[in-house]
Every structure is written in structure tokens, then in C-alpha cells.
């Protein structure tokens, strides 16, 4: 292990302790979640979500990757509680403006469209946190990936935590020890890390997420040595020095809009786009290398492990029972409780 990696690991040991403080409630329990939660109150919820995503895909091929990322970024900050969706207000500093999300997280309009449709079909019933969980599964399924029974019954937070989002969301330029520590802090192991990273088999990333690898990696004055030289030239053409860092390119250069295991075979030939991707295979001697090799050779194993890991991630500290609320507008907390006991908010 390099000195820089040792330093990263030391800092991440502290990170685990800090996260326990930030994750109020701290439990990784799935509480009262159940795949049948809406069977009687909103039986068509998943079909409604799927239909809206399918329509969005006709004009936005990257929306599936964007939606699964929203679920990921929601769950890693105070649990899967829809806090990422809250906008700024007099009392809330939105997580949308935390560095890992600012000008990067997207798909909020599609989430709003889903919420509007669900409010029409089943008023004040389906939470925004559950919308993100369902949307993640439907996005994967629509792209040719596995399907699974999504555990439901999460409720929505009335607060957000921009500071935690800035500290604890895994970033694209992080070394493997830091990534593993952030996953471990929320109860996810190395297999979960590799499997969930496989969601980068579809979607796009901005130049700002990987330009650190193209010209002056870690202050060396040279590109990242774990980046395939032909791929490097391609990426330098897309992201020139001092160019527009909001330009996007495919996370998976082989099958960019299909959910498959090509992401892992890309890593084997040093064609992972993000540093955090390539670290999974190029960190010599780490257990993640064997996991990448297994998923490359066996797509069925990848799909099976991905489903398990998605369910585990979706179970991080949900609000259930009477905790939180069912937001009527995913971007803001409900304003008041009426005399009839129903929660109201202007849409």
C-alpha cells in the first residue's frame, strides 16, 4: 500500500466514527419495509413509475443512470428518506447543493412527474423515498438488467443534511480504501461496493469527474498510469485541458445504455472512466480484483449480487411507522396538518 493509500485509510477510519454521529438514528434495520406495502393502497404504483421512466427514456437515454444515482445519494446521507429531493427553504439547506450533487445530480423533474401521477392515483400515499427506490429498480429493468421485489414503506424526512452529503458520499476521484470505508460505514461490504459500482454500466459522467486522470494525475504531471492509452487519447479529445468540464461521456464505452457486465470487462483492460471505477481492479492484491473478475466472467453472478446489494442499500435507516411524513411535493416538507388529520402542502 502506498503512503497516500495509508493516509486515506487512516482518515477513513475516522470517517466511520463521524458517520455514526451524522446518521441520526443510525440503525441499518429495514424496519417495517415490505414489497407488499402498497398492495391495497396503491397497487399500480410500480407500473405508474415504470411508465413515466419509459416515456422519459425516449428523449433522455441517460435518465435511468441518473435516477439510480439519486437513490444511491439519498441512502448514503441519513438513510433512504428522500432528503436529497428537498429544495432550499428558510429552514433547509438542500443536499442538492452539496459538492457531490451540485450541477451533477439530475432527474428531479422525472421524480416530480412520478409524484404528480401517484398523487392523482393514490393521494398522500406513496413517499418520495419509495419513489426513488422503485425508480432505481425500474430503470435497471428497462435497461435490460435484473428485476427484484422492492421493499417499500419508507417515509420522508422533514430535514436535509448538506454537510453530511459533502462528507460521506463516495466520490469519483477517491482511492479504494476511502471508498471501502464509506461503504462499510453504512453496513455495505466490498462485494456490495463492486456490485453497486456496476451501476456505472449505464449513464454518463461529466469531464469534471475524471479530468484529474487525463493530464496531471495526483500532481505527477502525467496521466493516470492505470488508464488505457488509446482510451486516454479519446477522453482527452472529449475533455481538453481548460475545456468545458460539464461535457458528458459514457460511463461504459462498450454498451452505454444497456445494463450488463461490460463495465467489469472494461476495467480489466483499463477502460474504467472514473478513478473510483478503475481502483476496483487496479489496486493490486485487493479482494475487489477477484470480485471484478468473477462478475466479468459471470453476468448472472453480477446480477444476483447487484440485487442483494441494492436491497441492502435500500434498507439503510429508513423512516417507518409514524416517523417523518408522506410529502405531497418531493421538493418541500408538508406545511400543516388539517383537522381531518391529512397533511397538506401547496404543489
For 91-145, the pLDDT digits (tens) are: 999 999 999 999 999 999 999 999 999 999 999 999 999 999 999 999 999 999 9
pTM: 0.89
Task: Decide: helix, strand or coil at residue 324.
Answer: coil
pLDDT given at position 31: 56
Q: Which of 133, 156, 137 is nearest to 145 (CA)?
A: 137
63 has a pLDDT exceeding 80: yes
pLDDT given at position 335: 84
321 in a known ligand binding site: no
254 in a known ligand binding site: no
Cα dist from 177 to 47, 160, 174, 198, whole Å: 40, 27, 8, 18
d(CA 91, CA 242): 38
d(CA 229, CA 91): 49
Find the catalytic residue in 71, 73, 182, 213: 73
Instruction: Quick: pLDDT tens for 230-241.
Output: 999 999 999 999
CA end-to-end distance (rounded Å), the chain: 53
Q: Which of 78, 140, 178 is nearest to 302 (CA)?
A: 140
Q: What is the mean pLDDT of residues 58-64?
A: 97
d(CA 54, CA 331): 23
Grid cell for residue 119: 398523487
74 in a known ligand binding site: yes
Task: Decide: helix, strand or coil at residue 205.
Answer: strand
95 in a known ligand binding site: yes
30 part of the active site: no
C-beta of residue 295 within 8 angstroms of C-beta of residue 302: yes
Place 295 in a pLDDT band, splitting at 50, 70 and 90. Answer: very high
Q: How many helices (H) and strands (E) are present in the chain, helices listed first?
A: 13, 4
286 in a known ligand binding site: no
20 has a pLDDT exceeding 90: no
Helix (H) or strand (E) holding 344: strand 343-344
pLDDT given at position 3: 37
126 in a known ligand binding site: no
pLDDT given at position 82: 98
Q: Which of 115, 147, 119, 117 is nearest to 131 (CA)?
A: 115
222 has a pLDDT exceeding 50: yes
130 in a known ligand binding site: no
Q: Is the dihedral of CA 212, 218, 221, 227 positive or negative?
A: negative
Amino acid at each position: 500500500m502506498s503512503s497516500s493509500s495509508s493516509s486515506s485509510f487512516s482518515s477513513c477510519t475516522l470517517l466511520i466514527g463521524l458517520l455514526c454521529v451524522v446518521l441520526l438514528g443510525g440503525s441499518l434495520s429495514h424496519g417495517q419495509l415490505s414489497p407488499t406495502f402498497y398492495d391495497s393502497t396503491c397497487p399500480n404504483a410500480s407500473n405508474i413509475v415504470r411508465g413515466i421512466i419509459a416515456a422519459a427514456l425516449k428523449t433522455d437515454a441517460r435518465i435511468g443512470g441518473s435516477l439510480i444515482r439519486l437513490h444511491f445519494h439519498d441512502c448514503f446521507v441519513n438513510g433512504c428518506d428522500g432528503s436529497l429531493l428537498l429544495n432550499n427553504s428558510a429552514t433547509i439547506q438542500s443536499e442538492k447543493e452539496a459538492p457531490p450533487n451540485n450541477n451533477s445530480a439530475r432527474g428531479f423533474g422525472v421524480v416530480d412527474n412520478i409524484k404528480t401521477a401517484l398523487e392523482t392515483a393514490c393521494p398522500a400515499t406513496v413517499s418520495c423515498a419509495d419513489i426513488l427506490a422503485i425508480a432505481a429498480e425500474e430503470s435497471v429493468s428497462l435497461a435490460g438488467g435484473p428485476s427484484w421485489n422492492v421493499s417499500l414503506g419508507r417515509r420522508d424526512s422533514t430535514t436535509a443534511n448538506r454537510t453530511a452529503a459533502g462528507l460521506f458520499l463516495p466520490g469519483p476521484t477517491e482511492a479504494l480504501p476511502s471508498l471501502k470505508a464509506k461503504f462499510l460505514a453504512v453496513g455495505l461490504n466490498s462485494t456490495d461496493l463492486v456490485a453497486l459500482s456496476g451501476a456505472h454500466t449505464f449513464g454518463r459522467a461529466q469531464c469534471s469527474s475524471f479530468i484529474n486522470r487525463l493530464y496531471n494525475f495526483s500532481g505527477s504531471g502525467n496521466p493516470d498510469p492505470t488508464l488505457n492509452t488509446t482510451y486516454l487519447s479519446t477522453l482527452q479529445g472529449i475533455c481538453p485541458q481548460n475545456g468545458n468540464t460539464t461535457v458528458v461521456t459514457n460511463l461504459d464505452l462498450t454498451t452505454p445504455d444497456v445494463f450488463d457486465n461490460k463495465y467489469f470487462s472494461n476495467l480489466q483492460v483499463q477502460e474504467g472512466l472514473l478513478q473510483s471505477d478503475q481502483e476496483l481492479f487496479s489496486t493490486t492484491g485487493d479482494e475487489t480484483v477477484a470480485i471484478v473478475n468473477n462478475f466479468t466472467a459471470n453476468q448472472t453472478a453480477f446480477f444476483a449480487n447487484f440485487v442483494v446489494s441494492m436491497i441492502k442499500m435500500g434498507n439503510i435507516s429508513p423512516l417507518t411507522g409514524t416517523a417523518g411524513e408522506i410529502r405531497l411535493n418531493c421538493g418541500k416538507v408538508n406545511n400543516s396538518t388539517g383537522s381531518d388529520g391529512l397533511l397538506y402542502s401547496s404543489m
